[in-house]
Structure 1
Amino acid sequence: MDDRDWQILYILYKEKNITKTAQLLYISQPALTARLKHIEQCFNVTVVNRGHKGVTFTTEGEYLARVAESMMQQMRHIREEVSNLDTSMRGVLFIGASSYFTMFTMPKVLKKFKELYPNIDFNVTTTWSQDVSKLLDNQQIHIGFVSADYGACSTREVLYEEPICIASSQAFQLEDIPFLPRIDYDTDGMIKLRIDKWWRQHFNNPPLINMKVDRLATCREMIKAGLGYGIVPSRIIRGLDDIYTYKLQDEQGQDLIRKTWLLYHPEVVNLRIAKVFIDFVKNFEF
């Protein structure tokens, strides 16, 4: 059994389909079937039964699939410990980040860091902030970047703050906003709750949402094209010409702020490549 075999069990258990698993692993179906046969021979058991609708795991196969993830993590930790013994800075950092941070901030951070440490590579997972916290707790990543604080990590530091604002390519009055076309987008639940609360405090009418797009980047392009207004973090409209904005404020007159956090567990600083990255990010000028 090697890493690839545990990975096969892990993905096949999630997909329950040999064709899809082979595609995800970039191997042929015959090669995948051969590896499954090898796994079965190693443990002298039947791992899966094949049917028209996919595969079903036997009791023994279920057990092997459940331990596959922990076996993969153990091997990763062993590699990290061995790498840590090396005096040179090399290895792989596992990073999780919100799509907002990944698209608008992470590229320049990783580019600058790579210039300093060319032998350190990255494995980046982009997902919702809440799921980044879960990845950290499950030890699937070393470091996380989130735009909503779910309080799941013992070490979290604010990297930067930005106001949330109404943005439009056309001039507007605040009292007219409920009657103007709004471009909505998928975002983390905590951020949406704050925006919705602000709306209820200021308007009696629901927003006139004429577009619902998948992400902030798409919303930005729609605003830029003059197709409506959006309620967005201010950094996303940097560099756009002729954009009119209004900062959202709470009942005390304080700006509504969207924060971006750096998350990690304290023990990760024992991994040298993680520590140098954390120190680099803390001193980065965002």
Structure 2
Amino acid sequence: MDDRDWLILQTLYKEKNITKAAKRLFISQPALTNRLQQIEQEFAVQIVNRGRRGVQFTPQGEYLAKSAHEVLINIQKIKENVRNMEGKVTGTLKLGVSNFFAYHKLPDLLRIFKDHYPLIEFKVTTGLSGDIANLVHNEEIHIGFLKGDYGWKEKKHLLFEEKICIVSKEKIDIEQLPHLPRIDYHTDYLFKTLVDHWWAENYSQPPLISIEVDKSETCKEMVINGLGYAIMSSMTLDDIDDLHKIEIKTKDNEPILRKTWMFYHEESLKLSMVHAFVQFIMEIDFYHFDK
């Protein structure tokens, strides 16, 4: 078996459907089926059973599919280590990035880094911070950029802190928040918990959610158009001057802060491309680094 075969098993196990798996792998369905049959012949076991509800993995097939993740990571590490022996800063750097960081910071960072290390390529995954934390933990990416204090026992570096603000088109009375329309957006669990905790400390009734959107940028546009207020991180609002902002604070009148971190495994620093990128990021002043 080669790494492509392990990828087939991993993808088919996730999709549980040959047609969908073939589409994700950019191969034809007959080609995937043929390769699956060859894998079954190689191990002399039946890997899947086909039925109306898709494919069901046999115990042997499930074991192989679950092993695929570890095998693919090991293959990738071997390739990276071999390239690293050449003494050149080269390879594909896998980054996981929160949606905010991807939009506001990452493009310029990659452009500047690429100018210094032109042989580096990037594979970037964006998403909620909780998802990025899992990707780093499972070694599916080299470096993660995420918001929130997720438990992490490996290497991490604090990039910047943001205040949390109530933002609105017109000036509002904070005492009247429960009676005013609020715009919410899909965010990670830690941020939602932080805001919910602050709300519970200050109000005895739930917020009046009038609009729910998927991203912070969409939420901001709704606020700009006067459709309600929102509770957002301060850096999300840096490019807008004519909005009213009220910092939320603890009972002790301390600002509520949200931290953005860089997470990575110490072992990965042995790769020259990871070491170079970590050093590059640690030299950046993110408070004065604009999109």
Shorter-chain TM-score bucket reads over 0.9
Aligned to 1:129: 129
Identity of aligned residues (%): 45
Letter in 1 for 2:183: I
Describe how 1:1-286 pairs up with structure 2 within 5 A: 1-286=1-286
In structure 2, distance between residues paired with 1:57 and 1:202: 52
In structure 2, distance between residues paired with 1:252 and 1:154: 32
Cα drift, residue 145 of structure 1: 0.9
Cα drift, residue 15 of structure 1: 1.1
In structure 1, distance between residues paired with 2:100 and 2:240: 17
Cα drift, residue 87 of structure 1: 2.1
State how many pairs are aligned.
Answer: 286
Q: Structure 2: where are the runs of 5+ without partners?
A: 287-291
Aligned to 2:289: none
Letter in 1 for 2:52: H
Cα drift, residue 101 of structure 1: 1.9
In structure 1, distance between residues paired with 2:45 and 2:5: 15
Cα drift, residue 97 of structure 1: 2.1
SS in 1 for 2:150: coil
Cα drift, residue 183 of structure 1: 0.3
In structure 1, distance between residues paired with 2:200 and 2:141: 38
1:194-252 per-residue CA deviation (whole Å, 9 max, x = no partner) reads: 21222222223321110111121221111122111110001111222411111111122
In structure 1, distance between residues paired with 2:88 and 2:270: 15
Cα drift, residue 277 of structure 1: 0.4
The TM-score with structure 2 as length reference comes to 0.93
8 Å contact 1:137–1:153 — kept in the other structure?
no
In structure 2, distance between residues paired with 1:138 and 1:153: 13
Gap change, CA 1:204 and 1:45, over 3 Å in 2: closer
8 Å contact 1:91–1:121 — kept in the other structure?
yes
Larger mean Cα displacement after TM superposition, 153-162 or 270-279: 153-162
The TM-score with structure 1 as length reference comes to 0.95
Letter in 2 for 1:49: N
In structure 1, distance between residues paired with 2:58 and 2:253: 61
Larger mean Cα displacement after TM superposition, 23-32 or 169-178: 169-178
8 Å contact 1:93–1:142 — kept in the other structure?
yes
SS in 2 for 1:62: helix
Q: Structure 1: where are the runs of 5+ without partners?
A: none
